[in-house]
Amino acid sequence: MARIVKKFGGTSVGDVDRIQNVARVIKAEYDNGNEVVVVVSARSGVTNQLIARAKAINPNPADREMDMLLVAGEQETIALTAMALHALGVDAVSMTGAMAGIKTDPYHTRARIVRMECQQLIEYLEKKRVVIVAGFQGANELGQITTLGRGGSDLSAIALAKGVDADLCQIYTDVDGVYTADPRIVPKARKIQEISYEEMLELASLGTKVMQARSVEFSNKYNVPFEVRSSFNNNPGTIVKEEVSSMEDVVVRGIALDKNQAKVIITNIPDKPGSAAKVFQGISDANVVVDMIVQNIGRNGVANMTFTVPQDDMDRASKAVEEILAELGGGEVTLVGDVAKLSVVGVGMRSHSGVAGQLFAALSEAKTNIQLISTSEIKISVVIAEGDAEEATRVVHTAFGLDRVD
């Protein structure tokens, strides 16, 4: 007998038929003699409808009331899922996040989980009841309803797996697992069987949208292994877990490509102490997150600087920089929107040298110019022209031996 947490997203519970399908998946697990905790999101679309209704009433709704409003979505799904299980003869009971013991800090719409109090939930499991928990939500110390922000239901599942000491946590999604690269770009991409938290974290933060980075961070912090798998088939997915030494045998686990990148080049900035600080303070005040930065100390008392930002934020960043440059009394801005960031990720880089060289050789073979480089312990990222990006990804994928062998 195992204790298993299963999380289903909004698409998986989008309508009556899909809820019934999810109920069958749960029943199969339960019939195997396992204890099952299920985390569900709101039906896809419901959250957006509620937000639209709120904005029609108040363009700037209070965070506390947004939380009170949005949790209604998951509350509907947990009740319907429990009813679907009853129809299949499975004893099931629903719980809101608060009832399930998800205790958070007081920050509405972006609360962090501070503690899990799962006694009542565990009692239900011990009575052989399937427990359906509303994802994305919790309650603070005062009993106020809070929500966990984007991707919060994954976080709920991982926290519950920790809270009930589960043997397995399964995140059901619309993809089959984590791939060595996006299969739409690299047809020979392989599904990864096992990946470490850190690798998953790098891939998540690099724009592989299987999961939000914060859920992976949480699972890493509390060492909660989980599986990413499809709710539409029964294939084994990808296990995300603590690094084991055998993982280092593979140099590169996967390749991420982020096309939502733009490059901002500033030339001829007056080279005074604090110039760079002022520029980045201005961008930060404009709520833009800067990714890679390269600064060259120039000649004749001026400096040059290049950095990348999300393409959507390019105009906002540029406007902020123009204002700072006016203050500093000099400098020009050039924007390059059509760039992409290609990253190779793998814990094996720690013990294998020459990865950068191999990457640069592959890019050179693909006739791709490298515009910027940044590295971490388990990752090398390069900024390249967007037009070269997909072909470069395929070439690099092959170069690191990741191609599927049929």
Q: Which residues are at the interface with a second copy (CB under 8 A)? A: 16, 19-20, 50, 53-54, 56-58, 61-62, 64-66, 68-69, 71-73, 75-76, 78-80, 82-84, 86-87, 93-94, 96, 99, 143-145
CB nearer to a second copy: pick between 72 and 289:
72
Q: Residue 293: enclosing H or E segment and its boundaries?
A: strand 293-296
Q: How far is the CB of 229 from a second copy (least distance, A)?
A: 24
Q: How far is the CB of 85 from a second copy (least distance, A)?
A: 9
Burial status of residue 293 (CB atoms within 10 A of its CB: 0-12, 13-18, 19 or more): middle
Nearest-angstrom CA–CA distance, 36 and 129: 8
CB nearer to a second copy: pick between 84 and 102:
84
CB nearer to a second copy: pick between 47 and 196:
47
CB nearer to a second copy: pick between 62 and 244:
62
Given the structure tokens 């990457």, which residue do they identify?
A: 359
Q: How far is the CB of 93 from a second copy (least distance, A)?
A: 7
Nearest-angstrom CA–CA distance, 227 and 236: 9
CB nearer to a second copy: pick between 77 and 381:
77
The DSSP code sequence of 63-90 is HHHHHHHHHHHHHHHHHHHHHHHHHTT-
Q: How far is the CB of 172 from a second copy (least distance, A)?
A: 19
Cα 275 off chain centre by: 34
What the block records as the tokens of 256 is 């991420």
Q: How far is the CB of 101 from a second copy (least distance, A)?
A: 11
CB nearer to a second copy: pick between 1 and 56:
56
Distances (CA, A) of 46 to 15, 94, 119: 11, 19, 31
Closest to 341 in 3D by CA, of 288, 367, 380: 380
What the block records as the tokens of 190 is 């392989």
CB nearer to a second copy: pick between 86 and 404:
86
Q: How far is the CB of 122 from a second copy (least distance, A)?
A: 15
Cα 72 off chain centre by: 24
CB nearer to a second copy: pick between 134 and 251:
134
Q: Residue 196: enclosing H or E segment and its boundaries?
A: strand 194-196
CB nearer to a second copy: pick between 54 and 294:
54
Q: How far is the CB of 365 from a second copy (least distance, A)?
A: 56
Secondary structure class of 259 (helix, strand, coil): strand
User: In which order are the strands placed within the sheet that holds 194-196?
Assistant: 92-95, 130-134, 35-40, 3-8, 168-173, 226-230, 238-241, 194-196
Q: How far is the CB of 164 from a second copy (least distance, A)?
A: 18
Cα 283 off chain centre by: 24
Given the structure tokens 């998946």, which residue do they identify?
A: 25
Q: How far is the CB of 370 from a second copy (least distance, A)?
A: 50
